[in-house]
A and B are shown apart, each in its own frame.
Chain A
């Protein structure tokens, strides 16, 4: 295989000279802001993005896909006497951009005034742009990625003789530059790299096939787990599911493994997010200042964490981000607001346009083994299925798979059950959290032990 053909200067310029790429995007953004103003917009904002991604996938030792993706896009929002119009395109040629701005202006001529519409207050714009250590380019050719994927899959397939098939392994790299600018004169540039690898394996025994996976993701290529570890991890996770069965219907404690625990914290974030609050579509209306978790638990947002999954100096409105508590000793300190939802609620922006950034759970004291001891007998969940979470009512009912824990020890794998309760009870009565924090994600939490849920499974 030769990859010399891929050394197309246009494609690699982003990797080798991100400043030049950023300048280009800034030029486009500034031109759009000027054009919007000339077209009658009182205010406008624009995001211009450029990214390069490569991904190699192998299956059963053979290359399955080699993909190269060069993506660019622009999204503009204009405000004309508080009427809003938006338009976007993936075509950055001048005439396409002109048309995009015209489209946004045309839409704003038809929408109705919205008193909350408009840019965030100019005083809130970020002034300082600390280096968050997010840019670590590596010009890795597709064949190098494919070779690594082969090593991953090979390690997984040979780890256990019950691994009989594979959905493959893949390795990907992504580098992106994005510019957000608005008519306050704010121009902010973000850039970042991300490297990922994953492996999905199939194991089989007389009870049937099971599938599971392992993966890793990091800002630098060097920080990725050893390929053998990801392959091996996938094998271990897959084989341990063999022979899974249902458990009888009843009420038991449920231990959420880190890979599903972050979803629980995510539901809490969703329920206190501005969009759901002003639409009165949350079970946590008016919860600020009230207990939403037990007193041992706190949540803090660290947007400037070096190499963090979602680190950024400014939010989607250009507002300066800073470290900030969300929950302190179980009590909700604030909501999660961008400038629009803040205005709708008569509050201040919390620099959360685009969501929370690196939210960390504090108060975890138990190792995973201690958590199982603490639970005694119950269900450990490692996989959740389906959409059965209703943030309006807090009702929770989802498909689950995992392990039955008996007297603090893993007994056997479980599948085809549902777990159900109410989010308010689940989060309010969290008994303990684990120190097994999954730091690859925007929401950083270890395992979470929920006191009691209804598990539905076999008849009796």
Chain B
């Protein structure tokens, strides 16, 4: 893969192994731990349908090189938005400002190791024709509208992107990756009398557009969006207070992402600012809970063959049978904490610095039938869809907003309730997981995680699970 990227990304700019070494040489100093060049080329294309017509489309092409020099916990960083030798050298000189004096260090030229590819390298923006894409969106629109006469608005968005990255560092790290990413989103607005409600569904991953064009795929999401809007049209005000909450399988795994995932990223723990800092080996969840971050899953939105620092991704166990056993690491934080990087060093683009980020974070399945989990609750709510969440990693408080939820009374599902925010405390929410279902499911591939202003695609997942105590932010 490295050779392929070298040919496609650098050769057109007249750059080769020799120029890489020259630029790395400019980064060198006896004071830096390592210097790194990150080349990226990314194209993306999107089409959107509204009012029954594909009214807009856009295309974006971006390329550049980000250069950093790392000394202890300090980083010098600069980038150039064109891949040329002069701009590369300029960026290297700027990035080296972190080191106080010039250098005698040695460049260790590396070899790109063979890393298993987690997805195909095909470019989804060049496969198939624009006519097919436009036709697909119109077909979806017609299908959605045929499902329910109360639908007043349908919007459908199709996105495809393709990126090539190459990492070369002074300490011998060398790697390349080619990453496709596609996504389809459907939103419907339904009106009945004075009430209006929306429903959304979508999915995607690291593969060709063909998969999204398969009728099974888009029909499922069309039906799902319509079903959600229908449910919400009949939703009652949600209750307020502290109660038992059953979370559905799949996308509700955003709970894990917010409640424990961010708190287990290496940077926050090295700095001692995470509510989980210094708790390695301690019990942070009930024995039913095993949580992993797995970048190696085939074709998943959150997967990577190598991370943005050239480290092959892993399946890292974070919590094993309730015990905290692992953090997610990038190179800088792993080195400062004296551990190995875990393949979680990610960045939004060449213009951003890498940091520890999640890939696909999920909980392994338990013993119970999902029906059994619901039946075990006397009084609570069952939340199956969410808009997303947020966490304060220091206090540990996290929220996530349900977009589809139901009341549970005496072990039976009751009426749908309106969208509601749930709030809890990360370090202890998993200690109140009373039951874990056997129905592990991953989300459909729509997650974007934001940290320090950088967005990266991620996945989440979980089986149905029961939390014995979360605060539910309703109005009644």
A96 at the interface (CB under 8 A from B): yes
Which of B175-183, B296-304, B339-347, B393-401 is the interface stretch? B393-401
- Report A-chain residues with C-beta under 8 Å of the C-beta of B80: 70
A457 vs B425: C-alpha distance in the bound complex, in angstroms?
12
A454, B475: Cβ atoms closer than 8 Å: yes
A96 vs B392: C-alpha distance in the bound complex, in angstroms?
42
Could you list 9 A-B pairs, sorted by A, with CB under 8 Å? A59-B271, A64-B75, A86-B59, A211-B394, A241-B395, A280-B189, A385-B390, A397-B421, A399-B399
B419, A111: Cβ atoms closer than 8 Å: no
Closest to B423 in A: A399
- Which of B134, B152, B423, B474 interacts with A112 by CB under 8 Å? B134
Answer whether A91 and B394 are a contact pair too, CB < 8 Å, given A279-B153, A459-B241.
Answer: no
Which of B88-96, B107-115, B205-213 is the interface stretch? B88-96
Could you tell me the distance in whole angstroms from the C-beta of B277 to the nearest C-beta in chain A? 9
Give a binary string over A20-49; 1 marks a CB under 8 Å from any B CB, 0 the rest: 000000000000000000000000000000
The 8 closest A-B pairs by CB, nearest first: A418-B473, A399-B399, A386-B399, A211-B394, A388-B421, A456-B240, A86-B58, A107-B57
B72, A88: Cβ atoms closer than 8 Å: no
Answer whether A91 and B61 are a contact pair too, CB < 8 Å, given A110-B54, A279-B189.
Answer: yes
Which of B191-199, B360-368, B458-466 is the interface stretch? B191-199
B79 at the interface (CB under 8 A from A): yes
A72, B476: Cβ atoms closer than 8 Å: no
A117 at the interface (CB under 8 A from B): yes
B401, A387: Cβ atoms closer than 8 Å: yes
- Report A-chain residues with C-beta under 8 Å of the C-beta of B197: 392-393
Give a binary string over B30-58; 1 marks a CB under 8 Å from any A CB, 0 the rest: 00000000000000000100100111111
B356 at the interface (CB under 8 A from A): no
Closest to A210 in B: B395
A106 vs B133: C-alpha distance in the bound complex, in angstroms?
14
Could you tell me the distance in whole angstroms from the C-beta of B8 to the nearest C-beta in chain A? 16
B420 at the interface (CB under 8 A from A): yes
A397, B59: Cβ atoms closer than 8 Å: no
Could you tell me the distance in whole angstroms from the C-beta of A119 to the nearest C-beta in chain B? 15
B22 at the interface (CB under 8 A from A): no
A93, B82: Cβ atoms closer than 8 Å: yes
Closest to A67 in B: B77
Answer whether A388 and B57 are a contact pair too, CB < 8 Å, given A6-B97, A8-B94, A209-B275.
Answer: no
- Report B-chain residues with C-beta under 8 Å of the C-beta of A229: none
A165, B273: Cβ atoms closer than 8 Å: yes
Which residues of B from 358 to 415 have beta carbons under 8 Å from A?
387-390, 392, 394-401
- Which of A69, A103, A111, A417 interacts with B54 by CB under 8 Å? A111
Answer whether A417 and B62 are a contact pair too, CB < 8 Å, given A110-B131, A208-B395.
Answer: no
A386 vs B63: C-alpha distance in the bound complex, in angstroms?
33
- Report A-chain residues with C-beta under 8 Å of the C-beta of B474: 397, 420, 454, 456
B76 at the interface (CB under 8 A from A): yes
- Report A-chain residues with C-beta under 8 Å of the C-beta of B64: 90
A66, B76: Cβ atoms closer than 8 Å: yes
Closest to B195 in A: A393
Closest to B155 in A: A279
A68, B74: Cβ atoms closer than 8 Å: no
* Interface size counted on chain A using CB atoms at 8 A: 86
- Report A-chain residues with C-beta under 8 Å of the C-beta of B63: 90-91
A399, B390: Cβ atoms closer than 8 Å: yes
Closest to A72 in B: B81
A202 vs B396: C-alpha distance in the bound complex, in angstroms?
13
Q: Which of A280, A385, A390 has the most CB of B within 10 A?
A: A385
- Report A-chain residues with C-beta under 8 Å of the C-beta of B90: 8, 10-11
Answer whether A388 and B152 are a contact pair too, CB < 8 Å, given A209-B275, A416-B424.
Answer: no
Q: Which of A65, A91, A387 has the most CB of B within 10 A?
A: A387
Answer whether A249 and B97 are a contact pair too, CB < 8 Å, given A385-B392, A392-B189, A397-B421.
Answer: no
B399, A89: Cβ atoms closer than 8 Å: no
A68 vs B66: C-alpha distance in the bound complex, in angstroms?
10
- Report B-chain residues with C-beta under 8 Å of the C-beta of A223: none
A91, B130: Cβ atoms closer than 8 Å: no
A188 at the interface (CB under 8 A from B): no
A136 at the interface (CB under 8 A from B): no
A365 at the interface (CB under 8 A from B): no
A214 at the interface (CB under 8 A from B): no
B198, A65: Cβ atoms closer than 8 Å: no
B130, A418: Cβ atoms closer than 8 Å: no
Which residues of A from 93 to 119 have beta carbons under 8 Å from B?
93, 96, 99-100, 103-104, 106-114, 117
B56, A395: Cβ atoms closer than 8 Å: no
- Report A-chain residues with C-beta under 8 Å of the C-beta of B156: none
A388 vs B392: C-alpha distance in the bound complex, in angstroms?
16
Give a binary string over A377-406; 1 marks a CB under 8 Å from any B CB, 0 the rest: 000000001111010110101110100000
A62 at the interface (CB under 8 A from B): yes
- Report A-chain residues with C-beta under 8 Å of the C-beta of B454: none
Could you tell me the distance in whole angstroms from the C-beta of A284 to the nearest C-beta in chain B? 12
A417, B471: Cβ atoms closer than 8 Å: yes
- Report B-chain residues with C-beta under 8 Å of the C-beta of A107: 57-59, 130
A419 at the interface (CB under 8 A from B): yes
Which residues of B from 112 to 145 have beta carbons under 8 Å from A?
130-131, 133-134
Closest to A458 in B: B242
Closest to A99 in B: B61
B153, A68: Cβ atoms closer than 8 Å: no
B15 at the interface (CB under 8 A from A): no
A399, B97: Cβ atoms closer than 8 Å: no
A398, B399: Cβ atoms closer than 8 Å: yes
B20 at the interface (CB under 8 A from A): no
A280, B196: Cβ atoms closer than 8 Å: yes
A139 at the interface (CB under 8 A from B): no
- Report B-chain residues with C-beta under 8 Å of the C-beta of A209: 273, 275, 394-395
Answer whether A67 and B60 are a contact pair too, CB < 8 Å, given A281-B198, A458-B242.
Answer: no
B397, A401: Cβ atoms closer than 8 Å: yes
Q: Which of A109, A208, A397 has the most CB of B within 10 A?
A: A397
A420, B240: Cβ atoms closer than 8 Å: yes
Which residues of B from 151 to 180 have beta carbons under 8 Å from A?
152-153, 155
Answer whether A112 and B54 are a contact pair too, CB < 8 Å, given A69-B351, A280-B191, A459-B241.
Answer: yes
A240 vs B476: C-alpha distance in the bound complex, in angstroms?
31
- Which of B55, B94, B423 interacts with A417 by CB under 8 Å? B423
A67 vs B75: C-alpha distance in the bound complex, in angstroms?
8
- Which of A110, A401, A422 interacts with B130 by CB under 8 Å? A110
Which residues of A from 113 to 144 have beta carbons under 8 Å from B?
113-114, 117, 142
Answer whether A392 and B471 are a contact pair too, CB < 8 Å, given A91-B63, A387-B401, A398-B399.
Answer: no
Known: A1-B97, A62-B74. 15 other contacts (CB 8 A): A5-B96, A62-B72, A64-B74, A70-B81, A96-B61, A208-B395, A249-B241, A281-B198, A386-B389, A399-B397, A415-B397, A418-B422, A418-B472, A455-B240, A456-B423
Closest to B422 in A: A418
A59, B73: Cβ atoms closer than 8 Å: yes
A165 vs B57: C-alpha distance in the bound complex, in angstroms?
48
B14 at the interface (CB under 8 A from A): no
- Report B-chain residues with C-beta under 8 Å of the C-beta of A5: 93-94, 96-97
B260 at the interface (CB under 8 A from A): no
Closest to A248 in B: B241
B78 at the interface (CB under 8 A from A): yes
Could you tell me the distance in whole angstroms from the C-beta of A21 to the nearest C-beta in chain B? 15
- Which of B79, B155, B198, B387 interacts with A392 by CB under 8 Å? B198
B455 at the interface (CB under 8 A from A): no
- Which of B97, B238, B421, B472 interacts with A386 by CB under 8 Å? B421
Q: Which of B81, B191, B197 has the most CB of A within 10 A?
A: B81
B220 at the interface (CB under 8 A from A): no
B306 at the interface (CB under 8 A from A): no
A87 at the interface (CB under 8 A from B): yes
